[in-house]
Structure formats: structure tokens, C-alpha cells
Amino acid sequence: MNVGEWTTRLAQRWPEAACLKYNDLELNQKQFNQRVNRLANTFLEAGLKKGHRVAVILGNSNVFLEVLFALSKIGGIMVPLNFRLTPPELEYIINDSEPIMLLYSPEFLPTIQAMENKLPSIKKFICEMDGGKPEDLEYEAWTAGQSIVEPTLDYEVDFEDPHFIMYTSGTTGRPKGAVVRQGQTQWNAINGMLTYPQEETITDLCCAPLFHIGALHASATPNVYRCNRLVIQRFFDPAQALKLIEENQVNLMFGIPVMFLMMCQLPEFQKTDFSSVKFFLTGGSPCPKSIIETYQEKGVVFNQGYGMTETATGITALGSEDSLRKLGSCGKPLFHTDIRLVGMEGKDVAPGDLGEVLIKSPTVIKEYWRRPEETANTIVDGWLHSGDVGYLDEEGYLFLVDRSKDMYISGGENVYPAEVEDVLMSHDAVADAGVIGIPDEKWVEVGLAVLVKTPGMEITAEEIVKYCKGKLAGYKRPRKVVFIDQLPRTLTGKILKKDLRVMYIKEGQYQPPE
């Protein structure tokens, strides 16, 4: 069996059940499966073989999910791309994964044009709708006339086959592809069913970007597996999200804290009817108490979680009943997930003591794409070494105190300082660079660049910020820049990021230099 068979079996058992709504398009399970089959047969006719990669730069839509499930059926591998990245960042990922096709939304035509003739593996470009390059195929026209019956294969596709490759930034400054296998998607859906049991079919608002593991595996795929209905928002808009919740009697929504903050800051928030909502699910960073309490006043509770791309996605969950009692915790391990907290010598630590979080689960990846050394360093004896430091309290609830060594999270996006520092160091006027995350009321954290100027050269903070545009995605670009004479380093030359945090973060707030 494979994940592609989900849509086959759902169509067989509940053909008339609602599957998804996207703008004016509404599909039942039978119709969705027919569209998936049509695309799968189109892929096969175009010469796609098992193991071939297909990259997508798409907004949220039925097309994104059709690509995912069509490739699942025939053994292709999806490479979902973060459309917030700059063309140079995307070029690296595409050329590393070597897809043979690229599907894109017309909104990202300038990005596609900026990468012209720089993607040698791509043999075919397909635009989701009108508005692409004149020579590129349009999705509906490309798939028109193809058979809607189940694709016929002369090979097996099963849970051991790769499902998609999702790139995550690395501490070395280069993104690496986490190879999520079909079985991990299956086990993630099972974990979700056991963590959030439901007695009836629900409607899920899918509004976080599907190129992220959170939206894809905490919102979209588990709800497809449960035969739930998806209401898909192309790009997150807080006012429209409130309207969709009320109009579609939404029961569930996944989002990062800043999305819920933006919604509750609107005047429409107080007028919105949330009576259909069972709970909201949030992750990416801890949800502030003020947001939890604001929604509780409207009768809405939060379930929170901790996850990683490498665990596809969930590791722990904090139920709504504990959202205030255990504020700051990310909960307990999911049903089919084990965690350990180990100290410097690799031994388990006692409750209350700090240790690195290790994870073992059928949802954990087996490898990074073409990175055997990094795979071996990260997954040891079946345990994924997260790099996250935390502690377990006496009741077994996990609290994180540091994340992936130097990584910080800005607006739900992981930012690894090494990648930002590489760009900063490419400027002639920058002799040394260190980047840390500093608290931010809206985005939770933003980047602070601590720089040493090249002797005899001058540069301003404004010039540094401008220099990063076009080289780094917006969420990676430092929002603040300071200059010092020398960065604190260890005897081996590593930047002491803890010292930088002490220098510029006081009582949980950014403290500008005097």
C-alpha cells in the first residue's frame, strides 16, 4: 500500500463525501480521486519514472494536493519549495534535488524568470493557470483528455518509497533535504488520529503554506486520511480567514502564533462567530498566554505541538486543557513517538535537568537527500538528535529552553544564523559577523546582526539591510544591525552566541547598545 491509495479507497467507500473547497471549486472524494488519477496518468505519459522528482512553487490550492497524491500513486517524489525564498536560494535547492519538472503558480513568474537557464535538470515547466511564460504548459490544458482511471504500473510503490523531499536550513549554511517516506506520512496521520480523536467528519481550514511540514502534515494530509473536508485558502489573509471560518463552519485550523495574533487584532475578530470551532492547533513556537486568553474569551481553545521536518511532523502535543496550566510546555510525546533527554555523556537526565531531545518514531526520516555524513551524525541507533535542549517536569511534560543550538524561529520559519552570516561576510566592508535571534512582539524573534567592520571601510546598518535584499528571504534578513570591535569567540574560534544574547537581550527584551 502507499499514500496515493488513500484517495482511491476514500473514493470507493465514500464517493459523495465532501473532500475540499477552493474558491468556487468544490470536489467530493470521487471527483478529487479522478483528478488525481488524471494527473498521475499525465505524469506517466510525460515519461516520469519511479524516483523522479517534481518540484513545485505553488500557492495553496487543490493542485498542490493533486500533485502530492498523484506522485504518491506512481512513485514520484515531490519537492515542495518555499516561495518566500530568493531565486539564488531556490536555485541551490532545485539543483541539489534535480527534479525533471517544475510546476509553479503565476504569482511566482518573476522568480521563474530570474532562474532562466540555471536549472539544467528541469525538462518541463507547467504553470498552474494562465499567466505563466508563453512557452510553458498550463495545468488544466496539460492534463485534459487523460484517463481518470487508476494508473497501471509494472512496479510496486509502498511505504518505504520516498514521498517528498522538504528542505530545511542547516547549521553549515546550506539547506538539506529531509527525505520523508510514504510510511512516515501514514504514521503521522495515525498519530494525529490518536492525539486528536474525532467522532464525526470535520471541516479544516488549510491556510498556512503547504510547502511547510506543519501545514502539510498537521493540517492537510491527516484530514484527507480521515475523510474530512478541507477549505483551502491560497495565501493567508487574516480577514479572509475569519470570514472563511464563519461561512464554512470551520471546526479546526492549524497556524503559527503570529497568524492567530494577526486575526485577533482585526476589528472583525469580535464579530466573528466561532461557535463551530472545536479547537485551533498551533506550533512553530510557543503560543503567548495573551493570545490563548483572547481566544478563550471567544470560546476557542488551543492545542499546541512541537515538531520538526525530520519527524514529519509531530513529536509532542499539549492539549487544550493544559494550555494555561502548563504554559510554556510543548506537551507529552505522541502515541507512536518516544523521546529521551540526554546529557553531555549521552545518558538520560533526571526530571528537571537539561538535556538534548532525542526522538524515535516511525515518523522519523531515515536520511537527508545525498547527505550520508549529516544523516549519520543526526540519526544514531534509530534516535534522531534534534539539537533542541529542554527538560521534562515531574509529570512528563516537555519544556524547551534552547532550539537547535543557534537556530531561531521568526514568524514560524526556522532561521539558521550560519546561512545569514555567509551572506553578510560576502560584503567587502564586513570583516566578521554573528547573528542571533532577538525577541519581537509580532514575529516572536527577528535577526540581529552583530558586525565587525573591515579596517578602513565604512558601512551603515541601513546599507547592510539593503544588501541582504535579493540574497535572503525576508524572514531571514536581519531587522537590526549593530557594530562592535570584536566578536566573542571560543579558543577554537566559534562565536559565543550565548555571550551575544547576554549583551543584547535583557529581561526578555532587546537592549540596544549604548
* CATH number of the domain that residue 487 is part of: 3.30.300.30
Tallying the residues shown for the chain, one arrives at 514
The per-residue pLDDT for 492 is: 59
The per-residue pLDDT for 199 is: 83
Structural domains in the chain (count): 3
**In 64-104, beta strands by DSSP E:** 77-80, 101-104
Q: Which of 111, 134, 156 is the last residue of a domain?
A: 156
The per-residue pLDDT for 456 is: 94
Residue 485 located in a structural domain: yes
Do both 136 and 7 map to the same domain? yes
Do both 244 and 275 map to the same domain? yes
Banded model confidence at residue 508, pLDDT cuts 50, 70, 90: confident
d(CA 398, CA 191): 18
Res 285 pLDDT > 80: no
CA distances to 218, 312, 334, 373 from 205, in Å: 11, 20, 23, 39
Residue 344 located in a structural domain: no
Do both 138 and 197 map to the same domain? no
* CATH number of the domain that residue 51 is part of: 3.40.50.980
Give the Cβ contact number of residue 496 at 10 Å: 14
Give the percent of the chain with pLDDT over 90.
84
Banded model confidence at residue 495, pLDDT cuts 50, 70, 90: confident
Residue 355 located in a structural domain: no
Q: Global pTM?
A: 0.88
Do both 72 and 187 map to the same domain? no
Identify the CA nearest to 224 among candidates 5, 456, 512, 454. Answer: 5
Residue 403 located in a structural domain: no
pLDDT tens-digit readout, 64-75: 999 999 999 999
Among the residue ranges 100-114, 150-164, 249-263, 405-419, the one predicted with the least confidence is 405-419
8 A C-beta contact, residue 54 and residue 78 = yes
d(CA 119, CA 99): 9
The per-residue pLDDT for 172 is: 52
Among the residue ranges 84-93, 250-259, 298-307, 401-410, the one predicted with the least confidence is 401-410
d(CA 37, CA 106): 24
- Give the CA radius of gyration of the chain: 23
The per-residue pLDDT for 393 is: 96
Residue 370 located in a structural domain: no
Do both 117 and 209 map to the same domain? no
Res 126 pLDDT > 80: yes
Average pLDDT of the segment spanning 14-30: 98
In this structure, what C-alpha cell is assigned to residue 130?
494562465
Q: Which of 333, 355, 381 is the last residue of a domain?
A: 333
Identify the CA nearest to 65 among candidates 124, 9, 128, 108. Answer: 128
* CATH number of the domain that residue 236 is part of: 3.40.50.12780
pLDDT tens-digit readout, 153-202: 999 999 999 999 999 865 456 899 999 999 999 999 999 999 998 889 99
Residue 390 located in a structural domain: no
Residue 175 located in a structural domain: yes
Average pLDDT of the segment spanning 102-123: 98
Domain limits at 61?
1-156
Residue 236 located in a structural domain: yes
pLDDT tens-digit readout, 413-447: 878 887 898 899 999 999 999 999 999 989 989 99
- The residue type of 512 is P
The per-residue pLDDT for 173 is: 61
In this structure, what C-alpha cell is assigned to residue 220?
492537510
Do both 164 and 100 map to the same domain? no
pLDDT tens-digit readout, 369-399: 999 999 999 999 999 999 888 899 999 999 9
Distance, CA of 495 to chain centre: 28
